A and B are shown apart, each in its own frame.
Chain A
Amino acid sequence: MATSLHSNQISAGQEHAPGGSQNPVLVTKDSYEELEEDLSLDVDQSRPRHASGVIAEIVESRQHSEVDSNQNNAAVDYPATDQQVKGITADTNHLSLGDGQLTDESEVFVEEEEQRLRSGSVLQTVEKTKPAVVEEDIHSAAWKKHKKHIFILSEAGKPIYSRYGNEDKLVTLMGVIQALMSFVQDDKDSLRSVVAGGHLIVFLLRQPLMLVAASSTGESQQQLFLQLRYMYNQILSVLTHTQLNRIFEQRRNYDLRRLLSGTERFLNSLADLMDSDPCFLLTAVRGLPLDNTVRDVIGQSMQSAKVKDLVFAILIADGQLVTLVHMKKYILHPADLHLVINLLKASTSFETSDSWVPLCLPNFDSSGYLYSHISYLDDSPACLLLMTVDQMAFKEMENCKQKILEKLKKHNCLAAIKDSVKRGSYTCQEVGISELRHFLYKNKSTAQFTAPSWGAPYSDPAEQERLFSLYRFVHQKVHNPARPLKILFYVGSHESALGWITSGFELYAVFSPLTTKQVAILAVNKILKWIKKEEERLFILNPPEY
């Protein structure tokens, strides 16, 4: 049973959302708005989809640093949004029609799929599939059971990635996907999704790539689109948009796996993280709980070690942001930071030595690399990333790291970080609200979120998964593009949940199933008060700048 409430019933002061800040450390644009803009571009390909030119701009400004700064300012702005907003409304109407037609066909599609695969008639691909025990393929029961499949292929239908099973053995399936998408594309239209029984299949065309998610998790089309976009961005972060385009311009049927070899682990890890970490759902970053004086010292230490051309200096511990220093003009997008966090999670090779890695941050500039000096500081869990535009600047960054390390050691900051990581996030009991089981709170003005650790009754991974899908459900209901809600109170069989969106924050709180609406509302007000009290410890409020 879902009930929506009127917002006056909640009396908290919305203008001072806890954890808010005037100087956001991250880009705070709403990810759903971004997605709509992005999708609207499918119809009109002429507008630029990608951020680009920022790196060139920094390099240029370095070369003649005194000359015209006006020009630079102009180029950083986001593409104009007015026109795009108009584009969206037109586009959605158009789409709902398309969806209806496709749903009719969808059952046929699923039934016939296997037949087509067996006969191998699609695109005359010869089926090489042998009954394999170890590797799953389309006929194995285990493969069919997975809750969310993700496929990536080239426009020519060449397999690039499959989350489960060997993509080589899925060539025929890739052929079917390619046929479906290009069939609709021929009519200057784009295929968005197909509903087939309990499965939602979502299609995203990012020329020259096609991305598909087939999910039985109950996630919405938007949520799956966002995840596909992350997968796409992960590929860009390795290759850059420029390089990707150039390759396929030269050879349409290029096998991209050659260039991506070794990237599967990052795509896999990203897909798994998106199924368990709320940061993707919220497009927000979790700050490491830390005394604000310690955090300030860390920030100042990083700031004072500034070297030329250093764009971002990021300190991350255990997937959480400690602090971030950025060039005055350039702000990092949380989605880019998620890719960085995924990079650190998925590879152990950074732990053994200092690394020098070319990384493309697609929301910052998809046309080029930032060169990143990555090092774990003194066998602590704290990992420092220094990102610059200068490919040759390893030595400078190495010196910069040494300076920062010395300062952090002098002020005992590494020990503080270690302690905080060891202690983990706070428990729900610390918040002191008896009915409360768990919550997620995102401050919109800083794109940061906070959540207690998974305490009882969510200590079991299966229970965590169930709670996470409840959050996803409430999230998708309040963010429904056709009917966005401010407040939603939902009573389920295991728990009740309250979702509340204001201009300043998003809050999702979970209670026992017998909790009433009134009690829940009182409780969320208490949560807000508690967060306000703790905000300096939980959020990064005053990031230093270069």
Chain B
Amino acid sequence: MKALEAKVVVLGTQGVGKTSIVVRYVGKIFSKKVSPTIGSSFFTFKMTVDNYRVKLQLWDTAGQERFRSMAPMYYRKANAAFIVYDITSYESFDSVKSWVEELKKNVDAPLVICVLGNKCDLAEQRQVPLDEGVQFAASIGALFFETSALKNEGIEEAFLRLSLALISLSQSAPNCGLLVKDYDSSRRKSADIVTVPPSLKVLQDKIAEEDEEEFEEREPAKNGGCC
């Protein structure tokens, strides 16, 4: 068993649901009252995939234009990037293209890119056709998923595929900057259980109180899932 540590940056224009996706994945919840991220938020997530212990350091960035100048700091030494757009806003899809260009220009090391079309539950307001997203992602060699943080669709899969892509990247290009170590599985068994950060637990409790129906969706945290 090996351990792999990767820095993952989440990019995209404001209001597309970057924080909602991350909070849905890391905390298994959806909050209606997510306030705009300021600067960036930092999460870590651990899981076991394909005989690898994968530790993701997630940088959830603010989408507002004024934080654009901070972006180089986020994608510096990043191993993977989620670029998120909102399927109900063509403008947000356009900004995906500019993010890709910026990454291509500034990041030398190979990078796993995953394009996410979020808010796919709002199909009736769709402005970006599914085909267009798929074709664009294929043209830049990126992964592509349509997701819904609200309905919890596509997010687990996106993170899983991203992790697998990171693993294969570390195998095919050993010098890509990914940190791979041998994992001593006898040490710290308890760490195999997915841990939810304490701050997110508080949010979980709040939401559980507010909304009983949401409760059934909040399955006990699984062991990362694998294939």
Contacts and interface: CB of A to CB of B under 8 A. Distances in A.
Contact residues of B: prevailing secondary structure:
mixed
Interface stretch (B58-66, B128-136, B142-150): B58-66
B108 to A, nearest CB: 18
Given A239-B66, A262-B14, A351 B38 contact: no
Nearest to A261: B64
Contacts of A347: 35-36, 38
Given A259-B66, A262-B36, A262-B64, A354 B41 contact: yes
A398 interface: yes
Nearest to B34: A349
Contacts of B39: 355-358, 372
A130 interface: no
A261 B35 contact: no
Contacts, number: 81
Interface residues of B, number: 31
A513 to B, nearest CB: 44
B73 interface: yes
Contact of A358 (B23, B43, B70, B76): B70
A374 B23 CA distance: 18
A356 B40 contact: yes
Contacts of A261: 14, 64-66
Contacts of A372: 39
A5 interface: no
Contacts of B118: none
A265 interface: yes
Contacts of B79: none
A260 B66 CA distance: 7
Interface in B24-69: 27, 33-43, 60, 62, 64-67
Nearest to A259: B66
B19 interface: yes
B209 to A, nearest CB: 15
Interface string A77-94: 000000000000000000
A261 B37 CA distance: 12
A358 B200 CA distance: 23
B23 A352 contact: yes
Interface in B68-112: 70, 73, 76
A166 to B, nearest CB: 18
A353 interface: yes
A357 B38 contact: yes
A57 B198 CA distance: 38
B203 A349 contact: no
A369 B38 CA distance: 14
A352 B199 contact: yes
Contacts of A260: 66
Interface in A352-397: 352-358, 372, 375-376, 378-379, 391-392, 394
B98 to A, nearest CB: 15
B65 A355 contact: no
A379 B201 contact: yes
A347 B19 CA distance: 14
B38 A349 contact: yes
B66 A355 contact: no
B225 interface: no
Nearest to B199: A352
Interface string A259-273: 111100100000000
A353 B33 contact: no
A355 B64 contact: no
B174 interface: no
B66 A379 contact: no
A349 B64 contact: no
B65 A258 contact: yes
B73 A391 contact: yes
Nearest to A371: B39
A65 interface: no
17 contacts: A258-B65, A260-B66, A261-B14, A261-B64, A262-B14, A265-B35, A351-B202, A352-B197, A353-B42, A353-B200, A354-B41, A355-B42, A356-B40, A356-B41, A375-B199, A391-B73, A398-B42
Given A349-B38, A358-B39, A358-B67, 15 more contacts: A258-B65, A259-B66, A260-B66, A262-B14, A343-B38, A352-B23, A352-B199, A352-B203, A353-B43, A355-B40, A356-B40, A357-B38, A379-B202, A391-B70, A394-B42
6 A-B pairs with the lowest CB-CB distances in the bound complex, closest first = A357-B39, A353-B41, A262-B36, A379-B202, A259-B66, A354-B42
